[in-house]
Amino acid sequence: MSGLFEPTLYMVKGMAILDSDGNRLLTKYYDPTIFPSVKEEKKFEKQLFNRANAEITMINRLTCVYRSNVDLYFYVIGSSQENELILQSVLNCLYESVSTILRKNVEKRTLLDNLDIIMLAFDEICDGGIPLETDPQVVAQRVSLRVEESPFNDQTVTQLKQKIGSTTGAVLQSAREQLKWSLLK
């Protein structure tokens, strides 16, 4: 009886987005016992990328589902006993959320430009290995609300740059005048 699989909420062991060369763009692993170091994570990602010829595969006793588009590969990883349909629904949510956030322009350059928002989507979809949301519209909506609530948006950054620029200009002007007066003395 001890060999039976006990149900758990911690269904997702990791989520990853790799580029067309198999390099990580964004990854999040939820079980440190499986991959205790970044070196082991990257080794697994190379195996994962090299086996990406089926939608569902088994690597190192982990069930992996994947989906690709243009130059990106999306992965969701679970234990060997995990239900593939649940992992697939998390994967679909991840892909469709990213697609919605990036306005259907799912490619490496656009993803890198919006990496902070995609990281928020990862957190909205899964928390510590527990899937929280599988509706991509809800995820995209929550992420957009969190971005709007952020104290640092594009307008704030622009205003900050202007203030720094004007402050820097005033400091330089003051330094010039002090230098001029010290030379005239």
Instruction: Read off the pLDDT band of 1 (50, 70, 90).
Output: very low
> pTM (2 decimals)?
0.74
Structural domain boundaries of the chain?
12-149, 152-185
Q: Find how far residue 75's CA is from the centre of its chain.
A: 12
Neighbours of 21 (CB within 10 A): 8
Q: Are 11 and 134 in contact (CB under 8 A)?
A: no
**For the segment 97-135, what is each residue's pLDDT rounded down to a tens digit?**
999 988 888 888 888 888 888 998 999 999 888 898 889
Q: Indicate if the alpha-carbon torsion angle 122, 126, 127, 128 is positive or negative.
A: negative
What mean pLDDT, rounded, does the chain reach? Answer: 82
Query: Is it the case that residue 17 has pLDDT exceeding 90?
Result: yes
**For the segment 45-103, what is each residue's pLDDT rounded down to a tens digit?**
999 888 867 788 888 889 999 998 888 999 999 988 888 899 999 999 999 999 998 88
Instruction: Check if CATH label 2.102.10.10 holds for domain 12-149.
Output: no
